[in-house]
Amino acid sequence: MNKKKNISKFGFFAMTASLFITVYEYPTFADSGKTLIFFLLLCGIFWFLPVALSSAELATIEGYQDGGIFSWVGEPLGEKFGFAAIFFQWFQITVGFVTMIYFIIGTVSDVLNVPVLNTNVGVKFILVISIFWLLTALQFKGTKITEQVAKYGFSIGIVIPVLLMLVLAIKYIASGNQISKNFTDTHFFPDKSNISALVSFVLAYMGVEASAPHIADLENPKKDYPKIMFALVIVGVVLSTIGGSVVAMVSHGNISANAGVVNALKEIISPGKESPLVIILGILVSFGVMAQVSSWIVSPTEGLQFVASKGLLPKKYEEVNKHGVPVPLLIVQGIIVTAWAAILTFGSGNSGGNVSFQTAISLTVIIYLSAYILFFIAYLVIVFKKKELKREYQIPGGSKVKIFVAGSGLLLSIAAIMTAFMIPDTMSKTEGKTYITTLIFSYIVTVVAPFLFYQFYSKNHSLKGAAHHEDDQTRMD
């Protein structure tokens, strides 16, 4: 029976990769031109690598294996902060789903030449919620479907299109076509005009730890998990750099946030005319993003199910169907995603898809970064105060290296949150006002929510559970 539960190393790798490799962000990267290489290397070395290394160590500490980031943060910092961390990890993706589906709609709209799908806010909203609820319904049959979709989605929806883009771009440039000014007229190092883009590049690597609830499904988790983390760092940096650079090099004029990939494909395959290959690649890329949505639908909710088993959520959220899927949690998640879709789609009004898309991306990142700040603080507490804990893997180099690794991740997380509140130069005054107002309001509500819920519900129920346990123990004694 246990064999059925095992996930192959490639299956786990693909599922994790599809959680964080963000094809839909390539146009956003491309806006920074050459600077995208600096940002991707900076975030890859000083943020993504620290997350991967720290996760690999935390996941092998005795007593920290269950519950993912809830246990990693909750054990050293206390239950309240563990609850906030798992909440942020889950809640950010309720916004992220909208971002990903915006990309799917923009891509399909462009390759099929049906602009109304992406320009009419009513049609766009209906499409967002229809796609999301359909993918949610598919999860009710269990995570085996998710694993299969992740494998194929990663292989044919991410790796193949990106490598093909690279080959076609080399051929395009070798044929004498000019490299776009979007790439040539920029510098390697950032300046005032694009420093605000940092927040988008951090998103390129977010989510690598979200597959932690599935670690136990690996045949040899203590040995395989750290190796998979290292492989993911390399693959993540390489694919994001290739994808973003190609879009920047071949896109002339303004780069559309949610149609930039297709526009780049058109330019390198068949400039000025229709091509079946563009349609095929556009559909494949959309499938890759759908696989990402599928992987995210269940992964964080399994952590929430663990939290519910601790009494921190109402008991009904512990429930699973015959396939082991937490249906009540998925229903609540779906309702929240529907609400975000309405706020972000109708909130941008006629200001265009780019504003709602950029707001969704920034909000996704700063909510998730709030979880990562707690994550790195928790890791540093373990380094300073809990050295005696048994673990199968440790970041090599001793305490000083560990402090440098986690400290760099923490500082970059804080810096990225700060840059998210800088209005991008590409937005008009009206668009900027809409962007910053929606972002600030949504972020404040989100940060306060888990602490209020814990104070008025979780704390009491958790303490009651502990008190009940102590009473039972006293009677037994």
CATH number belonging to domain 9-463: 1.20.1740.10
- Check residue 258 and give its pLDDT: 63
Handedness of CA 94, 98, 99, 100 (dihedral sign): positive
- Check residue 309 and give its pLDDT: 84
pLDDT of 117-169, one tens digit each?
888 889 999 999 999 999 998 888 776 777 777 778 878 888 888 888 888 88
Tell me the percentage of the chain whose pLDDT exceeds 70.
90
At residue 349 the predicted structure's pLDDT band, cuts being 50, 70 and 90, is low
pLDDT of 167-196, one tens digit each?
888 888 888 888 888 787 878 887 777 777
At residue 214 the predicted structure's pLDDT band, cuts being 50, 70 and 90, is low
Structure token pair of residue 305: 């199910």
At residue 306 the predicted structure's pLDDT band, cuts being 50, 70 and 90, is confident
Residues 90, 450 contacting (CB under 8 angstroms): no
CA distance 88 to 77: 16
Measuring CA to CA, which residue among 467, 52, 40 is closest to residue 233?
A: 52
pLDDT of 14 above 70? yes
Q: Which residues contact 67 (CB under 8 A, 6 or more apart)?
A: 74, 82, 86, 213, 303, 306, 307
Structure token pair of residue 141: 């049959």
pLDDT of 374-405, one tens digit each?
999 999 999 988 888 887 778 878 889 999 99
Count of alpha carbons within 13 angstroms of residue 222, beta-carbon side? 9
pLDDT of 409-428, one tens digit each?
999 999 989 888 888 776 77
Between residues 142 and 460, the one the model is more confident about: 460
Letter for the amino acid at 19?
Answer: L
Q: Please, what is the Cα angle at 327 between 324 and 333, to 5 degrees?
A: 130
pLDDT of 353 above 60? no
Mean pLDDT of 284-313: 84
- Check residue 468 and give its pLDDT: 45
Q: Which residue has the tokens 């395009």?
A: 172
Which of the residue ranges 2-16, 64-78, 154-168, 198-212 would you say has the lowest mean pLDDT? 2-16
At residue 81 the predicted structure's pLDDT band, cuts being 50, 70 and 90, is very high
Residues in the chain: 477
Residues 159, 242 contacting (CB under 8 angstroms): no
Residues 304, 313 contacting (CB under 8 angstroms): yes
Residues 43, 204 contacting (CB under 8 angstroms): yes
Between residues 449 and 362, the one the model is more confident about: 449
- Check residue 143 and give its pLDDT: 65
Average pLDDT, the chain: 81
Domain ranges within the chain, ordered by starting residue: 9-463
Structure token pair of residue 325: 């899927």
pLDDT of 3 above 60? no
At residue 475 the predicted structure's pLDDT band, cuts being 50, 70 and 90, is very low
- Check residue 5 and give its pLDDT: 52
Q: Residue 235 burial (CB < 10 Å; 0-12/13-18/19+)?
A: middle
Mean pLDDT of 325-344: 90
- Check residue 6 and give its pLDDT: 67
pLDDT of 217-267, one tens digit each?
777 777 777 788 788 888 888 888 888 888 888 888 777 766 678 788 888
- Check residue 126 and give its pLDDT: 95
Letter for the amino acid at 92?
Answer: Q
Q: Which residue has the tokens 């694993």?
A: 147
Assign residue 273 a region: left if phi > 0, alpha if psi is -120 to 50, beta otherwise? beta
